[in-house]
Amino acid sequence: MSDLALPGAGEASATTAAALSQLPAVDRLLAHPRLAAALAAYGQPLVKRAVQAELAECRDRLRAGGTAPALEVLAAAVEARVRRAVAPRLRAVFNLTGTVIHTNLGRALLADEAIDAVAAAMRGYAALEYDLEAGGRGDRDDVVAGLLRDLTGAEAATVVNNNAAAVLLTLKALAAKREVLISRGELIEIGGAFRMPDVMAAAGCKLVEVGTTNRTHAADFENAFGSRTALVVKAHASNYAITGFTAAVPETELARIAHAHGVPFVIDLGSGALIDLSAYGLPREPLPQDALAAGADVVTFSGDKLLGGPQAGIIVGRADLIARIKRDPLKRALRVSKLTLAALEATLRIYASAHRLQERLPTLALLMRPQADIRAACERTLPAFARFAGPDFAARCEPCASQIGSGALPVERLPSCAVVLAPVAAKGSGRALARLARRLRDLPIPVIGRVQDNALWLDLRCLRDEAALLRQLAMEGE
């Protein structure tokens, strides 16, 4: 048998050798006019690597019995390879999930004023830690501390990398090696491994759970105090709600109890809006100024949730406590960059002006977008989505409910509207939906929706560049 097989194998290898010899040399492919633009933009080393990789892959294909592609085809493949190599990993996407402050998609959209401030801070030197009055070293927190004091009524303020860092630093600075009282109903887990018990452990604090999951009373706190108690903490139930037979101790009461025992009262607000959102027709979220007025000594909240600014953790409160927090060596490790401070300062200035907030803060504008406006966008884009999805899907507009996201107001929903793409055939509908979701994600600007009730829902609340969406749907549509 083997002597029968041998001539065949010999023939195959002869054809392969012939095909391999037809492949162009690296330099010849590199000199193809089609690659001139890529060479000019990205330089010879990167394009050459793409050429070598393409040729290597091509050789493998030929050995497996393929035929040599034309030079033009090879050049096009190299060009595509270069495009993939230089495409940013942090891709722009269309967020059609219906969640406005979406942690996985980058949370708040920043105001133009904040974006301009960041660009300016990147291009040149800035008085980041420089006291221009005295002509010497300053404190980077001073960039925003005054604004934060004015906006929240706090005596002092400091800023760190995010709210998780704010909670960690506050706990460590004020209660390391000692006990922290917190209600059992507030041992929160925020997505992405922020779990209150773990943060307490990381800060070196001993967690003392008070009350029960659904009911905690003032007496429970009174009884939990001991000689090693350093802090009473309240965490805002950002991403869940306990309903039914519940009881929590009001903030004013917690503050009174803490102060009677001579320990500070800290509130982790999580989202922390700086303005009363109910004035804008949105559900009301607790404000840092309310928490301080209720007697909290320190309040922490995020910069990139309802505030609509950059990722940051803001700590406001009593001057002596903020000073202790700032003195902790961990503060140096968690401090923010000039880019964050530039964006945060510009965002806070918008709040301080109290002028045309919804025009200037895009996150607020998205939250406030009227349902009729979103429905109109759905009706305008429905035909393009239907064409893109093809005849295997039925397309319709349907009212739906957007979420604020990032733990803010977990049970509140914003009336919205979606383009719904539902598979026509029941059989294999799961796979068809996954394929359609994949095709939308493969677009130049990936489109991210959500699968629900055996259909793909594209909530258009957060669609801003409708023309760009329509262009790419038309390009890729059938």
Q: Which residues lie near ligand PLP (CB under 6 A)?
A: 162-164, 167, 188, 190, 194, 235-236, 238, 268, 270-271, 302, 313, 406-407
Closest CA to 367 of 301, 270, 243, 275: 275
Cβ closest to ligand PLP, residue 54 vs residue 285: 285
Cβ closest to ligand PLP, residue 200 vs residue 440: 200
- Least distance in angstroms from the C-beta of 227 to ligand PLP: 29
- Least distance in angstroms from the C-beta of 387 to ligand PLP: 39
Residue 73 in tokens: 């085809």
86 within 8 A of 46, measured Cβ to Cβ? yes
Cβ closest to ligand PLP, residue 188 vs residue 366: 188
- The residues near 283 (Cβ < 8 Å, ≥ 6 apart) are 277, 404, 409, 412
Cβ closest to ligand PLP, residue 159 vs residue 397: 159
* Greatest distance between any 2 Cα atoms in the chain: 98
Cβ closest to ligand PLP, residue 249 vs residue 473: 249
β-partners of residue 119 are: none
Cβ closest to ligand PLP, residue 224 vs residue 291: 291
Distance CA 139, CA 131 (A): 8
Closest CA to 444 of 79, 82, 94: 94
DSSP helix/strand/coil, 1: coil
**CB-closest chain residue to ligand PLP:** 270
- Least distance in angstroms from the C-beta of 364 to ligand PLP: 18
**Strand locations in 41-184 (E):** 94-95, 130-131, 136-137, 156-160, 179-183
- The residues near 63 (Cβ < 8 Å, ≥ 6 apart) are 16, 20
- Least distance in angstroms from the C-beta of 285 to ligand PLP: 10
- Least distance in angstroms from the C-beta of 271 to ligand PLP: 6
Closest CA to 448 of 3, 99, 125, 47: 99
Cβ closest to ligand PLP, residue 406 vs residue 416: 406
- Least distance in angstroms from the C-beta of 351 to ligand PLP: 18
- Least distance in angstroms from the C-beta of 463 to ligand PLP: 25
